[in-house]
Structure 1
């Protein structure tokens, strides 16, 4: 069978869907086809919650109706080869697809440490974006009591938090001194650890796993210290690698971190082939260094840029680098960050000032549901440019970090932040007299003045 389409998108998770729907909105006369192996795509950021908050994996599925409503065709199959010269793609089902433009959105795959002995034992799991695998994992974990999670990044921490709600005995092992250390400074990481520990999660930080042991299935996790942790199941939350084999075989250039090399329009070296999402190259908005960061927000931003530039480049529609913006919820408390952490800024050679303030997210504080809100800002000492920020608090912290993200991307100075006009309401925000973001800006400026 043969198909012809103007724009072929390989991969139908968040980045692929956004690239196709944005492209269709900008170029309505063009035909768009998404090829995806899975009939149903899971919501990537919602995966940890199928093991606690959500009742089943069916509650964490991206609706296919969104694709159809955008005027995009969805084809369930797997692309197994791309020919750049003839501009065709071949699927596992034997369909040859001719295209004018191609968007590669093949995502990422879980990393399994090659040096770790015992990863092939039964009940040793990764966290792929695969509906059937994840559902099987959910069923298997129901039968387990002692669960060891290796890796204290977002996935590891969120799954540990969710499984602890079900009364499981959870141990989280992280080689760095603190969980979430790549995302937050030590002061905030310690806050997250206190919540996890308070909810019964046993933390083994600064510890490296030497092997997984057992007969047919895993029964113990052995640490380099010699400690042996009983384990009915082990979850490897040890990161993800870009899924680029299809692109590599097609002769598309891959960068030093294993991602598809792209320019600011999300184009590869072939002007008719774009790449977006976890499989595509990333670099930092602030440090300009190539990164291996994988975030849904970044993927969707890249996808929109690719979709808008398919048939006409615009300097107004470019990707300026990831600002590393994210949020999570641990034990009901929101942790969110954007830009660089203080320790990373210093490591990269920036001279920075940081300061924080704590307030409340409603006013007066006697209102039901009021939560404390902690805001930290990291600012370049000389220019006053805001380079990073973090928020810890209630649900509203997840939106406040988006404000800080706009501040960073807009290259605002701390004085411009201090003079922002903030809309407030007792039931919705902190008080105008003590808005935590503004108070944090005041604290930075006070430090600046004292340093003169």
Structure 2
């Protein structure tokens, strides 16, 4: 029997960071991490295997990070856990005795077993396994027509990458807009225009009735009766928490199957924690459960769990999940943090919107300059920032991180409008038109003149 102080089950972002942070926080403790897969894929990098990298090996998270931290890595599968005896049993038959347990079991793709043809050859759910993805890459090489079902981030990114790879791509989304859960309609419309102008066919407000074919995919039939030629179908219909072990342990779960945790990632059982996609996420404004399954969120949760395994050492301000996203579609970057206007309206927030548009270099005639559009949402009475959306060049990726921190800290329109920024002609917007300052000022004027 192997004995350890801390056992982490799962080896993607949440598991890796929990294990390595625990070693730093508790250098006298032994940490063991068990994962099923021989290698680990960068989850958000998976679409880019198919249009930029063309090699699964280039999308690996290296094991050196874990091993160099002094974490013992075991490639195996945990098939059962006894929470009273504190023993985990591996598929190989080996047993691990633990003192603290962290579940970082991640999520599983939604596979629509109700959909006729879901099991045909060349129907690909997105599975985070290198061998599977390498086989998928190989099969897609000689395929021309691809249908993607689902217009969230992964579906849109696959559409962009496969289009770059020379495929004829059709994306089918049941909602009337792509990325509708993350962005307001005017931002989503920009992404739609970019996809269509680069040859991607969008079928919005459409439901798939069946995947057709004789053993292998030949077409996709919509509820409208339209049939779309397809040699392959990619299922990008979301994911669900992987909580098989949590159910076996009798842990409290939400109605949708996520593990219930407190501010410190503690589950309903003593000495058992959960981080990442398998753990519940709560909106930072409404405290409702939200399906925000991101590696960046898992990383934050991992740091919290690891620091507090043996007592609460770092007090956490309970702000919940800020829902910060970013993506790049062809030449534009999109970022969002906090609540979007549509949901603010639905939830009854009294809010003010501030907007600004400028170039991200000064002067805008410099090479590489891009237009940046910012939309900020503030509480009308307090002036506190509750949400932000940005579209533009590569600088969007870091600007949205500024807004994420501002939301977490309750920064106001006045504070953002007077935020002191470092600017330079070659790397930022002008100091007299810095987009976050300008959008905050636009909102502040409305608040002061109401």
3-state SS in 2 of match to 1:370: coil
Structure 1 distance, partners of 2:143, 2:353, is 44
Q: 1:116 to 1:328 in 2, by over 3 A?
A: same
Q: Report what 1:221 is aligned to.
A: 220
Match of 1:243 in 2: 242
User: Secondary structure, in 3 states, of the residue corresponding to 2:424?
Assistant: coil
- Aligned CA distance change for structure 1 residues 368 and 163 (closer, same or farther; 3 Å): same
Alignment of 1:4-15 (within 5 A): 4-15=3-14
Cα deviation, 1:379-412, whole Å, max 9, x if unaligned, reads 1111111000011111111000000001000011
Map 1:141-180; keep pairs closer than 5 Å.
141-180=140-179
The structural deviation recorded for 1:315 is 5.7
* DSSP 3-state at the match of 1:291: coil
- Listed as ranges, the gaps of 5+ residues in structure 1 are none
In 2, the alpha carbon distance for the partners of 1:124 and 1:437 equals 43
Q: Which residue number corresponds to residue 30 of structure 1? A: 29
Conserved 8 A contact 1:209-1:224: yes
Count of aligned pairs between the two proteins: 450
- Equivalence for 1:405: 404
Q: Determine if contact 1:265/1:319 at 8 Å carries over to the other structure.
A: no
Correspondence for 1:139: 138
| Separation in structure 1 between the aligned mates of residue 224 and residue 442 of structure 2, nearest angstrom | 43
User: What does residue 275 of structure 1 align with?
Assistant: 274
Does structure 1 retain, via aligned residues, the 8 Å contact 2:307–2:314? no
Residues 317-328 of structure 1 mapped to structure 2, 5 A cutoff: 317=316, 320-328=319-327
Q: For the residues of structure 2 that align with 1:188 and 1:152, how far apart are their CA atoms?
A: 14
Unaligned runs of at least 5 residues, structure 2: none
CA RMSD of aligned residues (A): 1.0
Find the aligned partners of 1:126 and 1:144 in 2 and give their Cα distance.
17
1:59 aligns with 2:58: yes
Alignment of 1:423-438 (within 5 A): 423-438=422-437
Matching of residues 299-448 of structure 1 within 5 Å: 299-314=298-313, 316-317=315-316, 320-448=319-447
Superposed displacement of residue 332, structure 1: 2.0
Note if contact 1:79-1:90 (Cα within 8 Å) is conserved in structure 2.
yes
- For residues 90-109 of structure 1, the aligned pairs below 5 Å read 90-109=89-108
**1:298 pairs with 2:266:** no
1:141-199 Cα offsets, whole Å, 9 max, x none, are 11211100000000000000000011110000000000001000000000000000011
**Equivalences for 1:174-189 in 2 at 5 Å?**
174-189=173-188
TM-aligned CA deviation for residue 318 of structure 1: 5.5
| Contact preservation (8 Å) 1:308, 1:317 | no
